[in-house]
């Protein structure tokens, strides 16, 4: 066990008057006028002091100042200092200054052994960038850090931070938040329960139950990064972006968001099991692509999805290489190898467009251009109803495909049944145009215009090889039958891994973030002008000595 070093005696350097009055102040030296005392590197000045020599203790009155080198200045109306245990107490208009900040409070205690100051009276801390207000706090002089475990508010011209547990480093402006904390600005509102904010660079990252909320959009994820100067945010794992204006949600495991405050044009990229969910007449549409990009103003968004796009709605699903959806025009383009299933009807073509009605927020119409082909299984038999032509134009009624026109070089194979569902013949015909009226998964009526050739054949009279039109391909095994079918296996595996990691993280004890190397090495990497001069003088001295 190491013996504690005995403290030296407080040294009285100067006073205008010195007196001993055993009646008024027993065992004390009364000092008056321009009092100056020192003790192991700290200097006290005041108007009047009582120095208790036996106890190595001093009480100071009027314009009290305690100075510790060039790192700490403490001013107050009254102070006490114990030279044996190196602890100071100050009260009455207390002002504590360091090169980086100033604290104003009513009462403060300072322990020179640990270089810690603490206060339990309301205090205000100011530095170049911020103003901090709290009910209580602790200052660690060696680390240049304030710690607050009660309500604290940081006010900056651009934002306000509120927390009940915050570590604030005065030299770097780094803030470490723990527990329910908020950051409020004109642009957005941020919530986190574990995070970091660089108040000088306006950079931040948040780790637990965090989200960024804009007027029209909310971004959340297991981990968030935010750059206020660029209005850029990225989110990792369990990302969810909610569009309050368009009633849509986009999810994934990685996202990047840029906001342009002048033009109000935003852009967002999301990947890793990305899915866009849009409410269409009390039914959700799910769209997946390996990468999704959303751009434009609110109400004029453009959504693009790339690579192996799949989508699902209760009565409709499909696949294509990519999707381009323009909210302003209501036009959604299914690009390259599109296929659409509407109930039991399979539709293909070179180009496929879905058109929505912005007023009713319902699907309005469908266009399939070049090589339009509709196939559906016969309801009872093994055959397939088929309609093909150059172009297809469909009309929706209450978001259900109700009427279809196929024009130019149209061909039909249709299994006709009576009210008892008995097969009465197979219609095979060629015409210039066909109109079909649909009722969910059945064709209610089919009408040929300008029929060129065709007949209704008894089943036995139409050979099997004549029951399929040129280009027929049935792709029922590819049909997307649920919202879970839109994701490929490798993305489901990634999701399972991320969910397991998240559960393990949430099961651990929640602890504050440890300060980063950048925070701890801030002074070393960002020396003050005075430190730079001292370093230069030291280097020059070393060179001169070597010579």
* Distance (Å, whole) CA 294 – CA 302: 6
So what's the pLDDT on residue 538? Answer: 66
Of 50, 63, 57, nearest to 87 by C-alpha is 57
How many CA atoms, within 13 angstroms, populate the side-chain half-sphere of residue 323? 30
Count of other CB atoms within 10 angstroms of residue 390 = 16
* Distance (Å, whole) CA 257 – CA 187: 14
Q: pLDDT for 161-206, tens place per residue? A: 999 999 999 999 999 999 999 999 998 999 999 999 999 999 999 9
Q: pLDDT for 312-324, tens place per residue? A: 988 889 999 999 9
* Distance (Å, whole) CA 320 – CA 317: 11
**The total number of residues written for the chain in this structure:** 547
Q: Is 248 helix (H, G, I), strand (E, B) or coil?
A: strand
Q: Are strands 217-221 and 116-119 parallel, antiparallel or unpaired?
A: unpaired
So what's the pLDDT on residue 533? Answer: 63
* Distance (Å, whole) CA 533 – CA 228: 34
* Distance (Å, whole) CA 54 – CA 25: 13
Torsion over CA: 220, 221, 226, 231 (sign): negative
Burial of 469 (0-12, 13-18, 19+ CB in 10 A): middle
CB 273 within 8 A of CB 495: yes
C-alpha to C-alpha distances, 377 to 196, 389, 422, 447, 476, nearest whole angstrom: 59, 19, 15, 19, 9
The structure tokens 């590197």 sit at 41
So what's the pLDDT on residue 1? Answer: 39
Q: Which residues contact 295 (CB under 8 A, 6 or more apart)?
A: 265, 266, 267, 268, 301, 302, 304
Q: What share of the chain is helix, strand, coil (3-state, %, to 5)?
A: 10, 60, 30
Question: What string of pLDDT tens digits covers the 547 residues of the chain?
Answer: 344 456 799 999 999 999 887 767 888 899 999 999 999 999 999 999 999 999 999 999 999 999 998 889 999 999 999 999 999 999 999 999 998 899 999 999 999 999 999 999 999 999 888 999 999 999 999 999 999 999 999 999 999 999 999 999 999 999 999 999 999 999 899 999 999 999 999 999 999 999 999 888 899 999 999 999 998 999 999 999 998 777 789 999 999 999 876 766 788 999 999 999 887 667 788 999 999 998 888 778 888 999 889 999 888 899 999 999 988 888 999 999 999 998 888 999 999 999 988 777 778 899 999 999 999 888 787 889 899 999 999 998 877 788 999 999 899 998 888 888 888 888 888 888 989 888 766 777 888 888 778 788 898 888 888 899 999 999 989 999 999 999 999 999 999 999 999 998 888 888 899 999 999 999 888 887 666 666 666 666 666 666 5
Torsion over CA: 135, 139, 144, 147 (sign): negative
Write down the H helix ranges in 85-155: none
Torsion over CA: 326, 330, 335, 338 (sign): positive
Q: What is the gyration radius of the CA atoms in the chain, in angstroms?
A: 38
CB 392 within 8 A of CB 347: yes
CB 42 within 8 A of CB 68: yes
Q: Which residues contact 491 (CB under 8 A, 6 or more apart)?
A: 272, 273
Which H/E stretch holds residue 520? helix 517-520
Of 223, 204, 270, nearest to 243 by C-alpha is 270
The structure tokens 């030291």 sit at 538
* Distance (Å, whole) CA 231 – CA 214: 11
Tokens of 126: 């100011």
Phi and psi of 503, rounded to 5°? -65, -45
Count of other CB atoms within 10 angstroms of residue 463 = 8
Tokens of 255: 């996202």
* Distance (Å, whole) CA 235 – CA 508: 22
């Amino acid at each position: 066990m190491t013996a504690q070093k005995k403290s030296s005696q407080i040294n009285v350097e100067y006073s205008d008057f010195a007196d001993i009055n055993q009646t008024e102040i027993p065992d004390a030296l009364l000092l008056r006028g321009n009092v100056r005392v020192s003790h192991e590197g700290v200097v006290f000045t005041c108007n009047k002091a009582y120095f208790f020599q036996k106890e190595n203790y001093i009480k100071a009155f009027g314009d009290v100042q305690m100075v510790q080198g060039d790192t700490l200045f403490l001013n107050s109306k009254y102070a006490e200092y114990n030279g044996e245990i190196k602890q100071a107490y100050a009260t009455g208009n207390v002002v504590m200054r360091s090169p980086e900040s100033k604290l104003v409070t009513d009462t403060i205690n300072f322990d020179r052994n640990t270089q810690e100051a603490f206060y339990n009276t309301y205090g205000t801390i100011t530095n170049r960038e911020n103003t901090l207000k709290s009910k209580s706090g602790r200052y660690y002089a060696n680390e240049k850090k304030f710690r607050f475990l009660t309500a604290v508010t940081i006010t900056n011209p651009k934002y306000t931070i509120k927390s009940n547990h915050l570590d604030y480093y005065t030299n770097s402006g780094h803030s470490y938040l723990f527990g329910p904390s908020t950051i409020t600005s004109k642009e957005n509102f941020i919530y986190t329960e574990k995070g970091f904010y660089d108040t000088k660079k306006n950079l931040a990252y948040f780790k637990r139950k965090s989200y960024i909320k804009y007027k029209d959009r909310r971004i959340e994820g297991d981990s968030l990064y935010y750059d206020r100067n660029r209005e850029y945010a990225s989110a990792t794992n369990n990302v969810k972006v909610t569009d309050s204006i368009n009633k849509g949600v986009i999810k994934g495991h990685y996202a990047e968001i840029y906001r342009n405050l002048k033009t109000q044009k935003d852009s967002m990229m999301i990947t890793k099991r990305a899915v866009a969910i849009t409410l269409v007449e009390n039914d959700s549409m799910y769209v997946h692509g390996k990468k999704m990009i959303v751009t434009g103003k609110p109400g004029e968004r453009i959504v693009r999805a790339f690579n192996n796009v799949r989508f699902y709605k209760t009565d409709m699903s499909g696949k294509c290489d990519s999707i381009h959806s323009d909210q302003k025009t209501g036009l959604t383009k299914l690009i390259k190898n599109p296929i659409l299933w509407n109930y039991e009807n399979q539709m293909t073509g070179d180009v496929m467009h879905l058109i929505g009605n912005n007023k009713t927020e319902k699907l309005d119409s469908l266009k399939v251009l070049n090589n339009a082909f509709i196939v559906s299984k016969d309801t009872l038999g093994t055959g397939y109803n088929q309609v093909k032509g150059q172009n297809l134009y469909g009309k929706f009624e209450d978001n259900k495909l109700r009427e279809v026109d196929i024009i130019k070089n149209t061909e039909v194979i249709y299994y006709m049944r009576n009210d008892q569902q008995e097969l009465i013949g197979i219609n095979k015909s060629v015409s210039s145009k066909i109109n079909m009226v649909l009722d969910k998964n059945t064709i209610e009526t089919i009408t040929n215009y300008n029929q060129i050739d065709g007949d209704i054949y008894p089943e036995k009279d139409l050979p099997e090889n004549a029951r399929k039109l040129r280009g027929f391909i049935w792709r029922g095994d590819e049909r997307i039958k649920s919202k879970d079918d839109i994701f490929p296996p490798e993305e489901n595996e990634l999701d399972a891994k991320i969910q397991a990691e998240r559960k393990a993280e949430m099961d651990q004890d929640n602890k504050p973030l440890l300060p980063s190397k950048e925070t701890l090495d801030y002074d070393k990497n960002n020396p003050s002008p005075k430190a730079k001069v001292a370093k230069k003088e030291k280097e020059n001295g070393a060179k001169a000595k070597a010579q």
